[in-house]
A and B are shown apart, each in its own frame.
Chain A
Amino acid sequence: MALKETPSQTAGPFVHIGTMPAIAGLKAKHPRPGNILARDGTLGERIRIEGAIYDGAGALVKDALVEIWQANANGQYGSNDFTGFGRAATDFETGLFFFETVKPGRTPHRDGRMQAPHVMLSIFARGINIHLQTRLYFSDEANAADPVLQLVGAPELVATLIAQRDASHPLYRFDIHLQGDRETVFFDF
């Protein structure tokens, strides 16, 4: 290795200016990636992912940026008709974030086994020195054989990664706990 990676620094409380300028009230000439990924004609089941981020004192994190990266309904990343990348800010008042997207398909793990459908998430905020990386899985999918969830192991830890499907709507609730008894599992890769 010839060079060291540039070290991370917190995105700070004003991350929206550079990443979601409209949220900060700035006009942009070109649209930026936002939280609506599903368009007319996008293949797959339309879903809404909704959640909140809690800190170790149980307070809502209202200044975070959440990014997602996911495969399309066929399990392909970066297809022409579906970027698979989205951004949402936690609401300054309610702390909620949401995405309108499609349920991703299964994708291969490095060892060739198939992974359960999942969405990758990154969290950036004041007080987070280097972005936190996690995965969202779906409560109505067969998750037991997923190679990454098997690495996570303990059922109570796996449970932090499962978004719960609302009985009547294609809506999944996914709350993230940065610290504490219900702390979400975060990944390094």
Chain B
Amino acid sequence: MSELAEFLPRDRSWHPAAVPSAYRSTTYRSPRRPLVVVPQSIGELSSPVFGDTPLDPLDNDLIRNHATTGDAIGERIIVHGRVLDENARPVPGALIEIWQANAGGKYRHGNDKYMAALDPNFGGCGRVISDAEGRYSFRTIRPGPYPFPNDGCAWRPAHIHLSLFGHAFVQRLVTQLYFEGDPLIQRCVIVNTIKDPKAIDSLVAKLDMDGMQAFDCLAYRFDIVLRGRKATPFEEG
């Protein structure tokens, strides 16, 4: 397939819009003019290549990768799934960068003023690269919910931030995953910047008892979909 095969347009109605909402931080950070649509040229269709990035063996183990005296505190979980494109094809070599709060809902970041304690054995930072079938997996602790100022006090559901690079600049994606059954999901002003309930549901990782590690970790399944290419004439024929 030509390197210049175009990608399907991004469905902006499926994504949260850049408009002011009940999520107050959007008020002054959302552009007012419509986006200018430009054709996909070489810059949009190429991408930095991270598939061969040398990773540390602990990069995808957040329970241990910043630990000094023992494992991080919290509910031990595995998050795993596949990176696919919109044509349901696996995306191998996708770099997934991960960040999250600790079990008490506190980030290891100087700007996080929440009173909850830091865990000296938890950094909340990891990465993993999808394999030839698009599969990825990382081990961590389930992050805690936390409050943030938004017309008074709002609460975030437990969530993990994910940043992805696929094979083209147009596939760049930053998102968050949530956990099945969390009653804070439907109350979250950030989640609710997404209008379609099916789109919200696609951000909810599902408990996966088949993937658990006996006497160690529960598992959650989360598949990630990046933009796919338009069908080529050959495929249509």
Name A residues whose Cβ lies closer than 8 Å to a Cβ of B.
1-19, 21, 24-30, 33, 55-57, 59, 61, 63, 67, 69-71, 77-78, 83-85, 92, 107-111, 115, 118, 120, 122, 124-132, 148, 151-152, 178-180, 183-189
25 contacts between A and B (CB under 8 A): A3-B228, A5-B86, A6-B173, A9-B16, A11-B163, A17-B108, A18-B98, A21-B125, A25-B110, A30-B56, A56-B29, A56-B30, A61-B29, A63-B111, A85-B48, A110-B41, A120-B44, A127-B29, A180-B32, A186-B36, A187-B35, A188-B38, A189-B38, A189-B40, A189-B170
> Hey, which chain B residues are within 8 Å of A92, CB to CB?
110-111
Please determine whether A18 and B226 come into contact, CB atoms closer than 8 angstroms.
no
The segment out of B5-13, B72-80, B206-214 that lies at the interface is B5-13
A109-B39, A185-B36, A188-B36 are contacts. A3–B225 as well, Cβ < 8 Å?
yes
A-B CB pair tally, cutoff 8 Å: 247
Partner of A83, one of B18, B48, B55, B127: B48
Name B residues whose Cβ lies closer than 8 Å to a Cβ of A.
4, 8-12, 14-18, 23-33, 35-44, 46-49, 53-56, 66, 84-88, 97-99, 107-112, 123-127, 161, 163, 169-170, 172-176, 190-191, 193-194, 198-200, 202-203, 224-228
Please determine whether A5 and B31 come into contact, CB atoms closer than 8 angstroms.
no
Partner of B161, one of A15, A27, A61, A115: A15
> Which residue of B has the minimal Cβ distance to A62?
B111
Please determine whether B161 and A12 come into contact, CB atoms closer than 8 angstroms.
yes
Report, nearest first, the 9 A-B pairs whose CB atoms are least far apart: A18-B99, A127-B25, A127-B29, A85-B48, A129-B16, A56-B28, A55-B28, A188-B35, A17-B99
> Hey, which chain B residues are within 8 Å of A70, CB to CB?
43
Please determine whether B28 and A6 come into contact, CB atoms closer than 8 angstroms.
no
Q: Give the distance in Å from the alpha carbon of A108 to the alpha carbon of B172 in the complex.
A: 22
> Hey, which chain A residues are within 8 Å of B175, CB to CB?
6-9
Please determine whether A183 and B174 come into contact, CB atoms closer than 8 angstroms.
no
Q: Give the distance in Å from the alpha carbon of A144 to the alpha carbon of B107 in the complex.
A: 47
A7-B15, A188-B38 are contacts. A178–B30 as well, Cβ < 8 Å?
yes
> Which residue of B has the minimal Cβ distance to A56?
B28
> Hey, which chain A residues are within 8 Å of B127, CB to CB?
18
Please determine whether B163 and A18 come into contact, CB atoms closer than 8 angstroms.
yes
Shortest Cβ distance from B96 into chain A, in angstroms? Answer: 10
